[in-house]
Amino acid sequence: MLSQRRILLIVGGGIAAYKALDLIRRLRERGAAVTPVMTQAAAEFVTPLSVAALAGEKVHSALFDLTAEAEMGHIQLSRVADLIVVAPATADLMAKMAQGRADDLASTLLLATDTRVLMAPAMNVRMWGHPATQRNLAQLRADGVLVAGPNDGDMACGEYGPGRMAEPLEIVAAIEAALADGPLRGRHVLVTSGPTHEPIDPVRYIANRSSGAQGSAIAGALAALGARVTFVTGPAAVPPPDGVAVVRVETARQMLQAVQTALPADAAVFAAAVADWRVANASDHKMKKDGSGHAPVLEFAENPDILATVAQMGSGRPRLVVGFAAETDDILAHATAKRARKRCDWIVANDVRPETGIMGGSENAVTLITGNGPEVWPRLSKEMVARRLADRIAQALQ
């Protein structure tokens, strides 16, 4: 439920603006108050009258509105909400946000705010795929903007592909996740997830079988308890959960950098299956057979240990640092030694022998090792493991 919550809804100028009307209804049904802002282009697609009628509030659209400035001011307008939602976020609005431009009310509000922003992109498939839009998307994600959608499907322009705005109920789910209230409200938790890809040459890489399922479930469970979650993920098979700020990386070194950028955090959970080594002699062009029958020899260099780096930070160390230990034998002994060596607070040890079906599967059998020793958990779904771990993290941060 969203009662007592205020959403500042910025409606951008695209055909998907009609879905913003339904979004307003759905939000109000759940008890949220909606302050609508429309760009000039949005008013070409839906009328401010419809938006105001559904929101039950006046529509703000002009930057230089003397009455509004006298009553409230655009700076204050940007701060009264619990969440700012941009739907549809057009390519143009995304570009303005990424550049920090402030040439109309919507962009000025987005620049002036210290409130979290969730956007639901909507545009033509080519515009979405354009390197400029993808660059802007990466920048906005790095700035902490939450993203819902876009979906694949038929588009109003007659093309097919990614670019359709997420459906109103999907946006509502992302809003609810972002505003979840609970014991972790006000806390920032960092989660790493997925495998890393370490390039051999521009087309080949070394990877591992991690799907990212456990990391995604943990990030989702932490967000559901109200945490602000930064989710640093390698190329995972499982999508990130709603309501978390996603930072996508490929290599271990990029992951370390993204983690350092995301700090400070109250707690950090390192669920990523980071490659221990990278190819030291990776080639910047595709390696080819030369007919001699000699295979290339790869040399390896050790990757930075992200968990150990963060666990051993002096000032700025998260209060709680949680690592994982995926083991195939002597699980408890190895995991206990790992906890001491890396100096993390907790280790979640799991048995990844192929016959368990855990790596890439939907269940996990873990032992949580804290300063008080090991606790064996029953075999549970990865979601249940995530919920239990999130509950324990919430207790530890109290």
**Residue numbers at the binding site for ligand C5P (CB under 6 A):** 192, 252, 270, 272, 274, 276, 303-307, 323-325, 338
CB of 270 to ligand C5P, least distance (A): 4
CB of 138 to ligand C5P, least distance (A): 22
Nearest CA-CA partner of 387 in 123, 184, 209, 131? 184
For the chain, how many residues are written? 398
Distances from the Cα of 35 to the Cαs of 19, 109, 175, 183, 252, in angstroms?
A: 16, 12, 15, 27, 42
CB of 131 to ligand C5P, least distance (A): 30
Strands 245-248 and 228-233: parallel
Kindly report the CA angle at 391 between 385 and 173, in degrees rounded to 5?
80
CB of 324 to ligand C5P, least distance (A): 4
Nearer to ligand C5P by C-beta: 149 or 220? 220
Q: Is the dihedral of CA 101, 104, 107, 109 positive or negative?
A: positive
CB 19 within 8 A of CB 165: yes
Nearer to ligand C5P by C-beta: 14 or 195? 195
Nearest CA-CA partner of 170 in 192, 153, 193, 191? 153
What is the separation of C-alpha 15 from the centre of its chain, rounded to a whole number of angstroms?
26
CB of 374 to ligand C5P, least distance (A): 16
Selected catalytic residue, list 157, 280, 333, 337? 157
Nearer to ligand C5P by C-beta: 304 or 361? 304
Nearer to ligand C5P by C-beta: 176 or 305? 305
Give the amino acid at 263.
L
Nearer to ligand C5P by C-beta: 108 or 350? 350
To the query of whether residue 344 is one of the catalytic residues in this protein, the response is no
Nearest CA-CA partner of 91 in 110, 119, 111? 119
What is the per-residue DSSP string for 342-353? HT-SEEEEEE--
Residues annotated as catalytic are 157
